[in-house]
Amino acid sequence: MGQLIFNGLVTGLLIALPALSLALVFSVLRFANYAIGSMLTVGAYLVYAFNAGLGWPLPLAALAGGAVGAGLALAIDRLVYEPLKGRGGVTLLVASIGVGIALENAVRFIAGSSTRGFAVEVARPLRLHGLRINQEQITTIATVLLALAVVWIVFRFTRLGRAMRAVADNADLAAVRGIPRRQVVCAVWVISSVLATLAGVLVGLDGNVDPQMGWNYILPVFTAAILGGIGNPMAAVAGAVVLGITEELATLVLAPHYRTMVAFAVMALLLLVRPTGLFAAQGTAK
Amino acid sequence: MISYVAATLVLVAIATIAGLALNLQWGLGGLVNFGLFGFYMLGAYVCALLDTKGVPPLAAMAAAIVVTAAVSAAVSLISVRLSEDYLAIVTLGFAECVRLFISYEEWLTRGTLGVPGIVRPFAGSVPPEWSDAVFLAFAYAWLALVFLLLRKITRAPFGRLVRATRDDATVAEALGKNVLAVRAKVFAIGGALLGVAGSLHAFHYSYIDPTQFSTTLNAYAFMAVIIGGRGSHLGVLIAGFTVILLLEGSRFLADVIPFLDGAQLAALRLFLVGAGLVAILIFKPDGLVREYRLRSGAS
Tell me which residue of B94, B95, B118, B113 sits closest to B103, measured CA to CA: B113
Predicted pLDDT at B71: 95
Q: B193-205: per-residue pLDDT in tens? A: 999 999 999 999 9
Range of the domain at A62: 27-217
Q: With 90 as the cut, is the pLDDT of residue A40 above it?
A: yes
- Domain membership of residue B288 (yes or no) is no
* Distance in angstroms between the alpha carbons of the first and the last residue of chain A: 40
Range of the domain at B140: 2-213
B264 against B297, higher pLDDT? B264
Q: How far is CA B159 from CA B9, B149, B184, B296, in A?
A: 30, 11, 14, 17
Count the domains in chain A: 1
Predicted pLDDT at A39: 94
Per 3-state DSSP, what percentage of chain B is helix, strand, and coil (rounded to 5)? 75, 0, 25
Average pLDDT, integer, range A2-21? 89
- B28, B71, B85, B220: best mutation site toward chain A, by most A Cβ within 10 Å? B85
User: Nearest Cβ partner of A101 from B92, B94, B219?
Assistant: B219
- Domain membership of residue A4 (yes or no) is no
Average pLDDT over chain B, rounded to an integer = 86
Residue of B nearest to A273 (CA): B78
Predicted pLDDT at A226: 83
User: Nearest Cβ partner of B100 from A97, A222, A257?
Assistant: A257
Q: Which residues of chain B have a CB within 8 Å of the CB of A261?
A: 97, 100-101
- Domain membership of residue B137 (yes or no) is yes
Tell me which residue of A230, A94, A231 sits closest to A171, measured CA to CA: A231
- Domain membership of residue B53 (yes or no) is yes
User: For chain B, what percent of residues have pLDDT higher than 70?
Assistant: 92
B88 and chain A: CB distance < 8 Å anywhere? yes
- Domain membership of residue B268 (yes or no) is no
- Quote the pTM value: 0.87
- Domain membership of residue B45 (yes or no) is yes
Q: With 80 as the cut, is the pLDDT of residue A146 above it?
A: yes
B270 and chain A: CB distance < 8 Å anywhere? yes
Tell me which residue of B217, B210, B43, B50 sits closest to B117, measured CA to CA: B50
- Domain membership of residue A134 (yes or no) is yes
- Domain membership of residue A184 (yes or no) is yes
- Domain membership of residue B293 (yes or no) is no
Q: With 90 as the cut, is the pLDDT of residue A75 above it?
A: yes
Predicted pLDDT at B295: 57
Distance CA B15, CA B3 (A): 18
- Domain membership of residue A20 (yes or no) is no
Distance CA B20, CA B237 (A): 8
Determine whether the interchain pair A261/B84 forms a contact, defined as Cβ–Cβ distance below 8 Å.
Answer: no
* ipTM given for this complex: 0.83
User: Does residue B205 sit in helix, strand or coil?
Assistant: helix
Count the domains in chain B: 1
- Domain membership of residue B116 (yes or no) is yes
Distance CA A271, CA A275 (A): 4
Predicted pLDDT at B297: 46
- Domain membership of residue B103 (yes or no) is yes
Q: Which residues of chain A have a CB within 8 Å of the CB of B222?
A: 94, 97-98
* A24-61 exposure pattern, b = at least 16 Cβ within 10 A, e = fewer: bbbbbbbbbbbbbbbbbbbbbbbbbbbbbeeebebeeb
Helical axes A259-273 vs A218-228, angle rounded to 10°: 30
